[in-house]
Amino acid sequence: MKKITALSGVCAVIYSVVEIENVAQIWVFPVSFMGFCFLFTFLYWLFLGVFSLHIRLGECYDRPSKTDYRMLNSGYRFLCSAARVRLHIAGMEKLPKQERFLLVSNHLSRFDPMIQSMVLKDWMLAFISKPSNFKIPIGRRYIRRCCYMPIDRENPGNALKTINHAADLITSDTISVAVYPEGHRGTGTCLQEFKHGCLRIAVRAKCPIVIAVIYGTQDIHHHFPLRRTEVYFDILDVIRPGNEKTVELSQRIREKMQDHLNQFTEGEKT
């Protein structure tokens, strides 16, 4: 009887050891996968960082580099994929085929320029952006090389220089330009008042204005990492500035964008 009890005890110990080993083996796969993801991410951003060192931070570039533009969009794609963004795009057939333009859109998240740059990569976009974005590690070199422009909202004279430079880039067929006339990020479907001065770019360049709306990017930070985020990017219309004042032009564009945004409810499109 004692022998049977001792044997049972030994079997129980062996079973528990085997069970622990099986559990350990199960955890090998997710841990290995996570390790691979971290290693790949590190190597990827290391590559982008090293590759960007040829770009001089103090220089103002008059023409974008196609190679660096592809690298920048590669980084955007990586971030959007990691953030689990699923895109829904509409209205691409309305875009000018062989003409530079001014893209006007609402603004909800840091992901907006990433998504819009990726979607419109064949047209090439340079964004007018706040100066703090030109301090982002790695990214600051690429956006400078791709003709992104900082704007000084506190100094009207400097802001006008940026607007004129943007118009010159379009007029010279160098690159299209994107602006967020709200000036700051919004929170949902209700647009803020527009800073109509940015529309002087299109008036001065006599170029088409592409009116677009983006929605859903405001939820990315809340959904990550457990949920996928549905993001909508719609090209609404392409218009040309006429004899109307920029204030009137701004109001017309804002009404068109607001009407479209009213179709959206919290987190879904009706």
Residue 4 has pLDDT above 90, yes or no: no
- Predicted confidence band of residue 21 (pLDDT cuts 50, 70, 90): low
Among 14-18, 165-169, 257-261, which is the least confidently predicted range?
A: 14-18
Q: Where does the pLDDT of residue 251 fall: very low under 50, low under 70, confident under 90, or very high at 90 and above?
A: very high
**pLDDT at 19 (0 to 100):** 53
The pLDDT value given to residue 17: 45
Q: What is the pLDDT of residues 195-223, one digit of tens each?
A: 999 999 999 999 999 999 999 999 999 99
Q: pLDDT (tens digit, 9 = 90+) per residue, 67-96?
A: 999 999 999 999 999 999 999 999 999 999
In this prediction the pTM is: 0.85
Report the pLDDT value the prediction gives residue 186, as an integer from 0 to 100.
86
Q: What is the mean pLDDT of residues 36-46?
A: 89
Q: How many CB atoms lie within 10 A of CB 119?
A: 18
Q: With pLDDT > 90 as the criterion, what percentage of the chain qualifies?
A: 71
Q: What is the pLDDT of residues 135-161, one digit of tens each?
A: 999 999 999 999 999 998 888 889 999
In the structure, what pLDDT confidence band is assigned to residue 231 with cuts at 50, 70 and 90?
very high
Label residue 25 by pLDDT band (50, 70, 90).
low
Distance CA 10, CA 3 (A): 11
16 — pLDDT class (breaks 50, 70, 90):
low
CA separation for the pair 258, 240 (Å, rounded): 19
